[in-house]
Amino acid sequence: MRYAHRERLISRDLSGVIERPQFYRLSSIPRSISWEQVGLVLGGVERRTPCGKRDWAMLLLLVTYGLRAREVAALTLDDIDWKRERLAVPERKAGHSTAFPLSASVGEALVDYLRHGRPPTEERRVFFRAVAPVEPIGAALVSDRARCYLLKAGIDVPRAGSHTLRHTCVQRLVDADFAFKTIGDFVGHRSPRSTEIYAKVAVEPLRRVVLGGDGEQVLS
């Protein structure tokens, strides 16, 4: 209606009398996938090629630590502490840095890529394009590669991408009964409200609300 009025197709702006749909906070459900599906996604990576070695490492970072695409793209060689087996993620969305224990599988994937997949360069960024021009990747490429492997595995999920694997990491922590404050700190949520949505898919805690301590249903 605003457009029609602006284009003088109608004489009055009628946008104010149109009822808008209601949107409710926490109305959606996180788009995570099962751990079995994660196996299918990872199984689609050709790990013998430089591109595959890079993608394998990126996917493991996404699903192991719940990193955002931009956090994966921004990683530098200085963020990996091989001696103390730690991975630093600086300047997160919440405004602080996080240091994770460097898991064996992620460490092996990074070593394989750095030795046999990463192009020779003086740049300190970890991940680079696999084709010319040789330059550091951006967040869009990280998300695009995640989307590519999700589709390749035949996994139908709304807006497939890097956030699908991030949500899956969070879902694993929820299923393991971690406190929501702990989960929010782990994945770098700026506000506890960002983590609240996962309460809707905390199956076991919700089950305990309905069932008594002895497993019998609580009757209202």
Indicate if 166 belongs to the active site. yes
Q: Which residue has the tokens 């956030």?
A: 163
Nearest to residue 94, comparing CAs of 220, 194, 7, 215?
A: 194
Residue 135, CA distances (Å) to 41, 131, 158 in order = 26, 9, 30
Can 68 be counted among the known catalytic residues?
yes
Given 5, 93, 129, 147, which residue is catalytic? Answer: 93
Catalytic residue (choose from 53, 145, 166, 167) = 166
2 is catalytic: no
Alpha carbons 87 and 202: distance in angstroms, whole number: 28
Q: Confirm whether 198 is a catalytic residue.
A: yes
Three-class secondary structure of residue 138 per DSSP = coil
Where do the DSSP E strands lie in the chain? 80-81, 86-89, 98-101
Paired with 136 in beta bridges are: 128
Q: How far apart are CA 85 and CA 88, in angstroms?
A: 10
Catalytic residue among 53, 54, 145, 189: 189
Q: What is the DSSP letter of 154?
A: T
Out of 53, 54, 68, 172, pick the active-site residue.
68
Residue among 65, 113, 149, 198 flagged as catalytic: 198
Active site residues: 68, 93, 163, 166, 189, 198
